[in-house]
Amino acid sequence: MTDRLPPLDPQDWDGYRALAHRMLDESIDYLRDVRDRPTWRPMPADVRHALATEPLPRDGRGDAAVYEDFLRLVRPYPNGNIHPRFWGWVMGTGTPQAAMADFLSSVMNPNVGGLEQSPVLVEQQVVKWCAELMGFPSTAGGILVSGGTMANVLSLAVARQRAAGFDVRTEGLQGDHPRLLVYASTEVHGWLKKACEFLGLGHAAFRRVPVRADFRVDVDAMAAMIRDDRAAGHRPFCIIGTAGTVQTGATDDLVALADLAAREQCWFHVDGAFGAMAALSPETAAQVHGMDRADSLAFDLHKWGYLPFDVAVVLTREDRALTETFSMQAAYLASESRGILAQTGIHFADRGIELTRSFKALKVWMQFRATGTDLLGAHIARNVRQAGDLARAVDAHPALERLAPAPLNIVNFRYVPPAPGSPRDDAALDALNREILIQLQERGIAVPSGTTINGRFAIRVAITNHRSTDADFTALVDAVVAIGGELLRAAGGR
């Protein structure tokens, strides 16, 4: 009989409870003791082999054995982004409160596409809170998605529908219409090229506007490009401003871009993947002045909101902009006046492309309510102060050189040995600083990332870490100088 199959639920609930309590206790210890471990460590060959070559497990080994494998093979070898000295790329650190919320969400396991259920109302409330934090009006709509790329792609799809000059949903892009063009700086994140290709615009539709010496978009150059493109018979439909560029943390002049978009009757979108969160603190809000004038805004909460992956936000000034772009009325989803298909006031399946949606909102709802958004803003402001202190420490050190302004939370610098006879050409300094960066990572001291600024390799420190202290940045500076000196001595330098 089929009911004799072993259940997927535990057969011994008390035994599983004990194992689950152990998992929880050891996970809390893991977070508590994070500073005692290296920031990152390479994966041993035997661990890599075990993970890469395990055959399909047709017969189960049991919960306890699999947990032991996790402790041995998986947990010791992450990328390290929860560590206080992780400043690579732009990755958030997570919080214990939000980690538990993810557990609670998985236990409930709702599909938050719609239906009459509390998770839908929780997400609706989270969207309202986010709109208020970003200065958006009460008419705003929004949805939670996986990350900044998806948030930006959905926003560009809304812009295409609202500003194309024809009904893209009905006609597609295959009719006889002017070519649609979107404008952003050369410093915009790579999502835009991918989005233009994905949405059928083609990456040639992305008009790359030069930046000034401070890495902010040249608004006058953008205006001239738009005029020239209109004269050539094309249709500019979207202007994109960046709040916190990924390389240097620069924020475009959002007020000037909003004015330009209004004059040119273009949709104004702001990519605020991490920089939008500066709005949470009075100390830093001025950096994103004008963001509240955007027609749409995309930002991550798993970056500078410190929440665990993954959760990002799409906001539009008018909720109908989302529903006009994505709403679908399938017969099997027709609403009723009562029962589980009763209208709850908002169906997120009509505000994006995903029908199956996890309960991402719970960790936001619990974190905001547990700590308050003012405390999150205070940590954001502290990160900006830490970046300023690091920039000043670099400027004051005779062996270090800053390679870009540090207006927000990103510092780019390199080691330049002051001793006579040391390498001075950029190629040699690039190689030296690449090795310094790798040794910082391999020794477990810290994890910055690297980038190229005006053709020169930079050690890039992106601070979206609520666990970092001032002493951590002092240790970073000391380590960069010490490793640089070691490498020079090993190469026969002084």
Q: Is the pLDDT of residue 494 over 50?
A: no
CA distance 435 to 487: 8
CA distance 482 to 421: 18
By DSSP bridging, strand 206-209 and strand 267-271 are unpaired
Q: What average pLDDT does the structure give for the chain?
A: 94
% of the chain with per-residue pLDDT over 90? 89
Q: Is the pLDDT of residue 43 over 50?
A: yes
**Where exactly are the structural domains of the chain?**
110-358
% of the chain with per-residue pLDDT over 70? 95
Region 207-225: what's the mean pLDDT? 98
Confidence of residue 3 (pLDDT cuts 50, 70, 90): confident
CA distance 378 to 396: 27
Per-residue pLDDT tens digits for 139-170 = 999 999 999 999 999 999 999 999 999 999 99
Q: Residue 345's pLDDT is what?
A: 54
Q: Which CATH architecture has domain 110-358?
A: 3-Layer(aba) Sandwich (3.40)
Cβ atoms of residues 315 and 127 within 8 Å: yes
Per-residue pLDDT tens digits for 416-465 = 998 776 767 899 999 999 999 999 999 999 999 999 999 999 999 999 99
Amino acid identity of residue 308, one-letter, is: P
Residue 50: both structure tokens together:
């075990």
Q: Residue 331's pLDDT is what?
A: 44
Per-residue pLDDT tens digits for 465-485 = 999 999 999 999 999 999 999
Region 18-33: what's the mean pLDDT? 98
Q: Residue 493's pLDDT is what?
A: 47
pTM for this entry: 0.94
Confidence of residue 2 (pLDDT cuts 50, 70, 90): low
H-state helical runs in 2-116: 13-32, 45-53, 63-69, 96-108
